Amino acid sequence: MEVIDDLIKQFLKELDYQPILEMLVNVRSGKKLRSKLLLAISGETKEAFKICATIELIHLASLLHDDIIDESNLRRGSKSVNYEFGTKNALMLGDILYSKAFYELSQMNAKYASIISDAVVKLAIGELMDVNLSKSFNTDKEKYLTMIYNKTAILIEASAKCGAILAGLDENSFGEYGKNLGLAFQMIDDILDIKGDDEILGKPAMADFKEGKATLPYIYLFESLDKQGKNQLKNLFKKDLDEEEKIWIKTQFKQKEILEKAILEAKKYATNAVNAIQKYSNQKLINIVEAMIDRNF
């Protein structure tokens, strides 16, 4: 992954404005899932690394905008760029990263540029869907799935497709792998927001609910409750929960085995991902799925 980091720095040094690099230090990019799966499909080539670096620029930009929308002070346990440097700087840094990524795409084969740029449009639509769904307690699982497909899975799907094209393989099969991996990945993230440790999460547990995100576990919990329970859960939505209220929600999750149900749903999509590329016997891609599903804080 160091090669990709070096390429990203090279891209941004070309812009010749030091504050960009200073702010970038505060951006926590994570484990580069998208790059790892692309390289696991395509192999390590100069072209593959450049596509990875471009995709990571896009992902970083989306995280910056996501933190602004959520008014987050932390990103994986560190101060977010909007908290450290202000919303205006964070917004413009995100725009710069997007713009540089699109410039690099314009220098590539049109097929890769088409797949990735289409994914970026849908990613932005996913962000807008997320904002609109947060206005009230969403109980529609299909709306949730559509939103996380656009917001999270679409760029993972695009990465897998690009890797397949680079390797001369069937892009549709690998796109299906990426799509299902992305859906499962976001579901696991949403589950960990509830059961995870504050320190390891880098943010308070159950932060999603306070921010207005009725994720899959909350949708399943709502479906399982009686009328009084449904009203109580809705009344807690977007509220700064006290300890008693957190205990009530967690007790309901435990009694009704909601998190187990949500984990099974995530595992279903993970299995779909593996089945989509079964004939290729790519152990690296299977390992990526297993590592993602087995995250347990």
Supply the DSSP string of 156-185, one letter for each residue: HHHHHHHHHHHHT--HHHHHHHHHHHHHHH
What is the location of CATH 1.10.600.10 in the chain? 1-108, 110-297
Residue 184 reports pLDDT greater than 50: yes
pLDDT of residue 296: 60
Residue 114 reports pLDDT greater than 70: yes
| Amino acid (1-letter code) at residue 57 | L
pLDDT of residue 116: 98
Q: How confident is the model at residue 297 (pLDDT cuts 50, 70, 90)?
A: very low
Residue 200 reports pLDDT greater than 60: no
pLDDT exceeding 90 applies to what percent of the chain?
87
Is residue 257 helix, strand or coil?
A: coil
Residue 202 reports pLDDT greater than 80: no
Is the domain spanning 1-108 CATH 1.10.10.10? The answer is no
Q: What average pLDDT does the segment 27-45 reach?
A: 89
Q: State how far the Cα of 160 lies from the Cα of 171, in Å rounded to an integer.
A: 8
CA neighbor of 90 nearest in space, from 75, 106, 101, 105? 75
- Beta-carbon contacts of 144 under 8 Å, excluding residues fewer than 6 positions away, are 133, 138, 214, 215, 216, 219
Q: For residue range 156-173, what is the model confidence (pLDDT) as tens digits?
A: 999 999 999 999 999 999
Q: What is the DSSP string of 78-142?
A: EE-HHHHH-HHHHHHHHHHHHHHHHHHHHTS-HHHHHHHHHHHHHHHHHHHHHHHHTTS----HH
Is the domain spanning 110-297 CATH 2.60.40.10? The answer is no
Stronger pLDDT, 133 or 26, i.e. the higher one: 133
pLDDT of residue 77: 72
pLDDT of residue 178: 98
pLDDT of residue 197: 66
pLDDT mean across residues, the chain:
93
Q: How confident is the model at residue 70 (pLDDT cuts 50, 70, 90)?
A: confident
Cα dist from 69 to 57, 87, 124, whole Å: 19, 10, 12
Residue 22 reports pLDDT greater than 80: yes
Tokens 């992954």 appear where? 1
Q: What average pLDDT does the segment 58-65 reach?
A: 94
Q: How far apart are the first and last CA of the chain?
A: 24
Q: Which two tokens stand for residue 148?
A: 């996380």
pLDDT of residue 75: 79
pLDDT exceeding 70 applies to what percent of the chain?
96
CA neighbor of 29 nearest in space, from 61, 74, 73? 61
